[in-house]
């Protein structure tokens, strides 16, 4: 059988130079605010590629003498004036990109949360605007390549492919979203490919039975350790009198895979000046129609940060600290959700009439809010939701945080 080589402009060259493509770096300069996570973006201007579109601070490597971290730090200073220490650079995601013109490149996106100096337009000939932008609300006129990187970053993957078609625009368009997320290796594969340093960490940081200076009792020491092969572990030998059986300590990632999985959330409890609870109505959640302001934690968030962000998104209210905990809530998994649920409820205080009138609901989340005496809420919500609300109300009244562990999935 004769193999017919591919043809066309993208066909590999025989006997010619290997394919080469540019490497570029992208800065995700991130800060946390009461309104949520924000990243620094600039609008390109002048005689440059993608003029008029928003993009992350970015650039190319200057040559083989420069590594990607050094390039990022240099580009950040040249474009924004901020000074970044190498130790503060975190790998976020790598994107293999091909633009509408058919040329491909590899982009390294890095997250930085600590720096020196105030960001400013340091290159006015190629940038005419700079602003902090919420991660979930990027400008409509954003470079598609940039948005692909930020979407992949928000999804928590390490690698993504973004190959545009010739008819695609440089600016991101919903109908031409070419982002493809490449899944990470699973836990089992990670265990098989465990680097030596991980095994060394497990051996040094997790003590074995009989360690810490204690002598084992007289007799043979039997270590039932799994052999370093992919074959099934052999059955252990029967125990004998006088044997001391040590524990089998799994590598951290293998042990973590066996632990309970849980999702986290955070809420804010408001009342009016007569201590009547304020609840928001969700038309999209018939199982839990009346809710507190709050939601699921995003990666990298702490519970209080989630509560502040979600509250502002859903009501327009910015809650001031310090946080005051009213309740810790736990729910077992069920048919509706495979993981346990853990959440914290914080005290948002008492709202006056003007503050209540100023509440601005997110129509994608809620369509109305009500202020009612506690007992008036009983017929309007499931029994477990009312029990939780009653516990939170009691915590506010007594000043003692409540422990509520029966907010299970699938319970009425």
- Residues 173 and 298 both lie in one domain: no
Q: Are 144 and 171 in contact (CB under 8 A)?
A: yes
Rounded CA gap, 181 and 162, in Å? 9
Residues 48, 168, single domain; the answer is: yes
The C-alpha atoms of residue 84 and residue 119 are separated, in whole angstroms, by: 12
**13 lies in a domain?**
no
Distances (CA, A) of 243 to 84, 167, 219, 220, 398: 57, 73, 6, 5, 56
Indicate the DSSP class of residue 321: S
Longest Cα–Cα distance in the chain: 86
Q: Hunting for tokens 């202020």 — which residue is that? A: 371
Residues 303 and 342: their CA atoms lie apart, in Å, by 10
Q: Which of 92, 107, 94, 95 is nearest to 162 (CA)?
A: 95
* 214 assigned to some structural domain: no
Q: How many domains does the chain have?
A: 2
Let me know if residue 174 belongs to a domain: yes
> For residue 191, what pLDDT is reported?
41
Per residue of the chain (412 residues), give pLDDT as tens. 444 444 444 445 555 678 899 999 999 999 988 778 899 999 999 888 888 999 999 999 999 999 999 999 999 999 999 999 999 999 999 999 999 999 999 999 999 999 999 999 999 999 999 999 998 889 989 999 999 999 999 888 999 999 999 999 999 998 889 999 998 886 444 444 444 443 333 333 333 333 333 333 333 333 333 333 334 444 445 545 554 444 556 677 777 777 888 899 999 999 999 999 999 999 888 888 999 999 999 988 999 999 999 999 999 999 988 899 999 999 888 877 888 899 999 999 999 999 999 999 988 889 999 999 999 999 999 998 999 999 999 999 999 999 998 877 765 4
Around 197, how many Cα atoms within 13 Å sit in the side-chain half-sphere? 0
Determine contact, residues 162/96, Cβ cutoff 8 Å: yes
Residue ending a domain, among 182, 201, 232, is 182
Residue 252 lies in a domain: no
Do residue 282 and residue 169 come from a single domain? no
Give pLDDT, residue 46. 87
Q: Identify whether residues 42 and 165 lie together within a single domain.
A: yes
CB 371 within 8 A of CB 273: no
CA dihedral 140, 145, 148, 152 (to 10 degrees): -140
What range defines the domain where residue 305 resides? Answer: 262-404
Q: What is the pLDDT of residue 247?
A: 52
Q: Is residue 68 part of a domain?
A: yes
Tell me, yes or no, whether 55 lies in a domain.
yes
User: In this structure, is residue 226 part of a structural domain?
Assistant: no
What is d(CA 92, CA 156) in angstroms, rounded to the nearest whole number?
8
Q: What is the CATH number of the domain that holds 349?
A: 3.90.79.10
Q: Are 272 and 356 in contact (CB under 8 A)?
A: yes
Is residue 225 one of the residues assigned to a domain? Answer: no
pLDDT of residue 49: 84
User: 130, 149, 182 — which closes off a domain?
Assistant: 182
102 in Cβ contact with 10 (< 8 Å): yes
What pTM, to 2 d.p., does this model score? 0.47
Q: Give the residue from 182, 212, 234 where a domain finishes.
A: 182
Same domain, 158 and 305: no
């Amino acid at each position: 059988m004769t193999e017919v080589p591919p043809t066309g402009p993208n066909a590999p060259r025989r006997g010619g130079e290997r394919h080469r493509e540019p490497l570029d770096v992208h800065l995700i300069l991130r800060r946390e605010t009461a309104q949520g996570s924000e990243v620094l973006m600039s609008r390109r201007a002048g005689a440059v590629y993608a003029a008029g579109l928003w993009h992350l601070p970015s650039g190319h490597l200057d040559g083989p003498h420069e590594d990607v971290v050094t390039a990022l730090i240099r580009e950040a200073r040249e474009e924004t004036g901020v000074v970044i220490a190498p130790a503060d650079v975190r790998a976020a995601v790598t994107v293999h990109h091909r633009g509408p013109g058919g040329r491909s490149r590899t982009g390294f996106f890095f997250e930085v949360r600590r720096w020196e100096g105030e960001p400013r337009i340091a290159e006015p000939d190629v940038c005419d605007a700079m602003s902090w932008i919420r991660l979930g609300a990027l400008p409509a006129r954003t470079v598609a390549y940039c948005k692909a990187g930020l979407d992949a970053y928000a999804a928590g993957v390490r690698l993504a492919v973004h190959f545009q078609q010739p008819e695609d625009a440089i600016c991101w368009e919903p109908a031409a979203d070419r982002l493809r997320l490449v899944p990470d290796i699973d836990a089992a594969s990670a265990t098989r490919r465990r680097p030596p340093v991980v095994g060394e960490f497990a051996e040094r940081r997790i003590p074995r039975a009989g360690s810490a200076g204690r002598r084992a009792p007289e007799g043979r020491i039997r270590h039932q350790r799994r052999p370093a092969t992919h074959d099934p572990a052999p059955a252990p030998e029967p125990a004998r009198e006088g044997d001391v059986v040590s524990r089998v300590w799994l590598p951290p990632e293998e042990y973590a895979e066996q632990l309970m999985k849980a999702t986290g959330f955070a809420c804010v409890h408001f009342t009016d000046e007569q201590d009547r609870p304020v609840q928001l109505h969700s038309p999209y959640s018939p199982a839990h129609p009346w809710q507190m302001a709050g939601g699921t934690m995003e990666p990298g968030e702490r519970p209080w940060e989630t509560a502040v962000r979600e509250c502002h998104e859903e009501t327009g209210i910015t809650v001031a600290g310090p946080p005051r905990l009213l309740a810790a809530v736990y729910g077992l998994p069920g048919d509706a959700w495979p993981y346990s649920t853990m959440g914290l409820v914080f005290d948002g205080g008492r709202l006056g009439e003007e503050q209540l009138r100023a509440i601005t609901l997110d129509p994608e989340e809620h369509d109305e809010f009500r202020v009612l005496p506690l007992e008036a809420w009983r017929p309007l919500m499931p029994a477990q939701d009312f029990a939780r609300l009653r516990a939170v109300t009691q915590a506010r009244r007594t000043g003692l945080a409540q422990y509520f562990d029966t907010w299970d999935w699938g319970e009425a």
